[in-house]
Structure 1
């Protein structure tokens, strides 16, 4: 009887492994959004990693690690799920950003953002690529993957945050609205 149960358990494990092996090791999601703000303003909010906890509804905390400028590293603790180590893989400030995240030993995520100026707005394209080598971890991801939901949440939260900020004025351009008159100076009193 014990042998039958043992053989059955081994058969189930092998079947699950085989099923997981048949799932794609790489999955990709992408989202596009138009944000009513200049590209520089969107970039500034996106790359202020410590302050993301103020506007991202899916994020509990962020802890920065010592790293050189342009190659920032940090630990994100989401409200749901496990913490992940993040690092800037490549970037062209104001244009594109690529971040790599390690997932608890089961795989990695390659996250990218492309920013294009569109008149007074910014077209943002977010892409997340999930790579999982372990067949059992692929099964878990199949059942509980929240990547598409997280991308949508990030996009919505970023859009709300940036569009609530006061507009940034480019150097050399006047702000819209009435100009204020120069302060009047009183001539020095004559003696």
Structure 2
């Protein structure tokens, strides 16, 4: 499920060098292409990278996929009746990982990324509560790539869409991200 607000990184068909500022850098999907558009045609999306670049990418266009979804909790995706067996939080927000080798073991994306549970086990990745799961290989020996971008603790400056006068202290002033939440405080991040 693609929707504005999801967080993405480079995908399997990435050919755009360092438009994203490098491997592991995160961006936010901000527009979905549509039929007849000259700016972003059907099966493409526009991503605003945390580094500030903004451009469009293929999500099925010419059977190519430039992006992978790394987080979708921002758009309200939840697995309401599933408890993360790593951190014990009920109602996993965002992507859910179900152990393919154990009968009833689930992880949130944070616990999965922090190598909770047996690294030799395969998992099934669910993007939404209703989506078909995709089997992912065991994490044992897998290359880990650090995510880079706007997260809690990051130092930031105003972006191109800033509308709040000098609330931030003025142009070129830096701030620190204290919390990430939805505009209407409805999302899980």
TM-score normalised by the chain length of structure 1: 0.25
Question: Which has more strand, going by share of residues?
Answer: 1
Please identify the structure whose Cα radius of gyration is greater: 1
Higher relative contact order (CA 8 A, sep 6+): 1
Q: TM-score, normalised by structure 2?
A: 0.25
